[in-house]
Structure 1
Amino acid sequence: MRTSYLFTSESVSEGHPDKVADQISDAIVDLFLTKDPEARVACETMTTTNRVVLAGEIRGRGIMDENGNWAEGVREEIERTVRETVKRIGYEQSGFHWDRLEFANHLHPQSAHIAQGVDATGNKDEGAGDQGIMFGFACDETPDLMPATLDYSHKILQRMAQDRHSGTAPFLEPDAKSQVTLRFEAGKPVEATAIVVSTQHAKGYDSGDKESELHAYVKAVVRDVLPAGLITDATVFHINPTGSFEIGGPDGDAGITGRKIIVDTYGGAAPHGGGAFSGKDPTKVDRSAAYAARYLAKNIVAAGLAKRCTIQLAYAIGVPQPLSLYVDTHGTGIVGDDAIEAAIGKITKLGGLTPRGIRTHLRLNRPIYSPTAAYGHFGRKAEGELFPWEKTDLVEDLEAALA
């Protein structure tokens, strides 16, 4: 494992067109789980100039029957949820406005062939909602046990969004991207060599004194977010390097659910199985097993068993038990990786890492997903409370299983 290197991660704001799509999709997941905790949802969203389109497969009591007939008032609730999400993000622009955008709903019933493989029937437990591989990761670079480059990229944009919503930075518009490059020595971040921030802005903030004001504001945010000492005289800032960024969001570029999977996870510091999270109910292991893998990896690092940990899980559609569990502590573990794998298998509260076991232990059949859809699914809190997969309540169980 290299100990001296440069590494970079990026993030995008809640107003980025793909993130607008993710937030709409997860708002629909939450709406349906509120009506039926066992709802099946695969909701894809496309956003473009003053238009939002939903498509996908759904099933649930009080939502839609098997013939595609909507329960009373649900279609109107869906459209209201979409518009409220866009309004909360802050889009009231001529090219994308929460009240004036055109909305199309093409959601339809879930395939009966998928349902028969996934649902629990008779002696058959609930199966995985799809095949695939899922990864979880944790490292000791930050207090949240996340890669530092991604953690700081997220927090820069979160601070800017807070200032935009509060009116502290009225010249900011919703769309933005960040990128942080850190130099590592002995495996620890010691210097920020480059910071990139591109932010949509009000008219006129691309030249003269207003441009200087915007640049000074961004630099102040970065210096406040990054730990002391990482910003040096040699740090290079690229702020709106194209010059102007007035047209943004879905008016500037179409957005699609699930296109920011590296931003959503570990910023490139760990492998990715390829499945997106947003718009999917927790029977889809793309989502729930990825959360479980992060939960395991974080608890392994929190227990002091390793400084870095990658977990892989694999599933087949309709099959409850995972096909494989793989642990890699990248040479930083104090016990063997095979011993950790065996210890995980002894923790009965995980339910054998079946979809039902994961959902039950982490209490995933709740409407908790809208806050995950911007600024990452890992390493943070929502409304003051840790996401359930971010808790470190397995530490004692791991220690006991290894004793």
Structure 2
Amino acid sequence: MRQSFLFTSESVSEGHPDKVSDQISDAIVDLFLSKDSEARVACETLTTTQRVVLAGEIRGQGIMDTDGNWAEGVEQEIEDTVRGVVKDIGYAQDGFHWESLTFENHLHGQSAHIAQGVDASGNKDEGAGDQGIMFGFACDETPDLMPAPIDYSHKILERLAADRKSGHAAFLEPDSKSQVTLRYENGKPVACTAVVVSTQHAEGYDEGEKEEELHAYVKAVVADILPDGFVTEDTVWHINPTGSFVIGGPDGDAGLTGRKIIVDTYGGAAPHGGGAFSGKDPTKVDRSAAYITRHLAKNVVAAGLATRCTIQIAYAIGVSEPLSLYVDTHGTGTADDAAIEDAIRGMDKLGGLTPRGIRTYLGLNKPIYRQSAAYGHFGRTADGDLFPWERTDLASDLKAALG
């Protein structure tokens, strides 16, 4: 691993069109899980000027019957949920307004051929919802055990959103992006060499004193988020480098579920298997296995067994047992990587890392996903508590196993 280098990660806000789509899709997952904890959901969302379109496959008690008929009142609940998400984000603009946008619902029943391969039956355990590889990662660069560039990029935009909603920065609008470049020395981040922040704003904040106010505000937020001394006189700033950013969100660019998978994970600092998370119930291993591998990697680092850890797991559709488990501590481990793999495999509480075992261990069959759909799925809390995959309660077990 190189010891001295520059590394950059980006984030996008909850008002970015792709993130609007992710949050809507996950709000639908939450709605259906609140009705049936075993619901099957694959919900895709398209957002564009004054329009939201849902498509995908679903199944669940109290949602849709086997003939594809909606349960009473569910269609209205879906539309109310969609409009509620858009309203919460803050879109009440001419080009995208929560109340007046056109809504289309094209969700339909799950394919029987998928269901027969995934459902438990007879002596067959519940199988993986798809084939694929999933990765988890953790490192000791931040208290959240996340890579620093993506962690700070997220936190900058979270602050902008909080200040916008509180009225502290009322000139901000929902759509924004950030990008942070850090200089590493001896493998550790030591300084910020460049910051890019593009934020949608009210009319007039692209020139004169109002533009200066916006720039000063952004610089103050960044300086507050980054560690002391990271921002220096050599830091290069690009704040709204294209000029005006009044037209934004789905009115400025169409959004789709699942297009921000590197923002959702580790900002490019670690591998990603390619599958998106949002809009999928936790039987889909794209989601649940990415969560368990993050949980395992974070606990390896939290246990002091490594300062960096990548974990890969692989599945075949309809098959419950994982095909492989791979641990790489990048030369930072205090225990052999193969020994860590064996310790993980030997933990009965993980349920053999089957889809059902993961869901049971992490308690994933709950409506918790809308909150995960902006500012990253990792290194974060929900309602003041850690997401279950972010807890480090496995660290002591790993230490004991590798004693």
Task: Please indicate the TM-score interval, normalised by the length of the shorter structure.
Answer: over 0.9
Distance 1:18 1:307 in 2: 33
Distance 1:372 1:316 in 2: 26
Tell me what 1:285 maps to.
Answer: 285
* Deviation sequence 1:158-196 (CA, Å, 0-9, x none): 000000000000000000000000000011111100000
Is the aligned partner of 1:351 residue 2:359? no
Tell me what 2:161 maps to.
Answer: 161
1:146-157 pair list within 5 angstroms: 146-157=146-157
Is the aligned partner of 1:325 residue 2:325? yes
1:2-401 pair list within 5 angstroms: 2-401=2-401
Q: Give the drift of 1:401.
A: 1.5
* One-letter amino acid of the structure 2 residue matched with residue 25 of structure 1: S
Q: Give the drift of 1:249.
A: 0.1
Q: 3-state SS of the aligned residue for 1:173?
A: strand
Q: 3-state SS of the aligned residue for 1:121?
A: coil
Q: Give the drift of 1:68.
A: 1.1
Q: Give the drift of 1:241.
A: 0.2
Distance 1:398 1:344 in 2: 8
Q: Give the drift of 1:300.
A: 0.1
Distance 1:208 1:399 in 2: 59
* Deviation sequence 1:365-400 (CA, Å, 0-9, x none): 000001000000000101100000000010111112
* Deviation sequence 1:82-125 (CA, Å, 0-9, x none): 00000000000000000000000000000000000100101110
* Deviation sequence 1:34-74 (CA, Å, 0-9, x none): 00000000000000000000000000000011221000000
Distance 2:237 2:295 in 1: 35
Distance 1:91 1:248 in 2: 10
Q: 3-state SS of the aligned residue for 2:294?
A: helix
Distance 2:135 2:216 in 1: 39
* Deviation sequence 1:224-271 (CA, Å, 0-9, x none): 110101001100110000011000000000000000000000000000
* One-letter amino acid of the structure 1 residue matched with residue 125 of structure 2: D
* One-letter amino acid of the structure 2 residue matched with residue 118 of structure 1: V
Distance 2:396 2:214 in 1: 48
* One-letter amino acid of the structure 2 residue matched with residue 52 of structure 1: V
Q: 3-state SS of the aligned residue for 1:81?
A: helix
Distance 1:149 1:67 in 2: 49
Q: 3-state SS of the aligned residue for 1:128?
A: coil
Distance 1:17 1:177 in 2: 11
Distance 2:57 2:29 in 1: 11
Tell me what 2:402 maps to.
Answer: 402
TM-score using structure 2 length: 1.00
Could you tell me which runs of 5 or more consecutive residues in structure 2 were left unpaired when the two chains were aligned: none
- The alignment-based identity, stated in percent, is 79
Distance 2:219 2:197 in 1: 9
CA RMSD in angstroms, aligned pairs only? 0.4
Misfit runs of 4+, over 2 Å:
none
Say how many residue pairs are matched: 403
Distance 1:11 1:154 in 2: 6
Distance 2:187 2:193 in 1: 16
Q: 3-state SS of the aligned residue for 2:364?
A: coil
Distance 2:232 2:262 in 1: 28
Distance 1:133 1:345 in 2: 17
Q: 3-state SS of the aligned residue for 1:231?
A: coil
Could you tell me which runs of 5 or more consecutive residues in structure 1 were left unpaired when the two chains were aligned: none
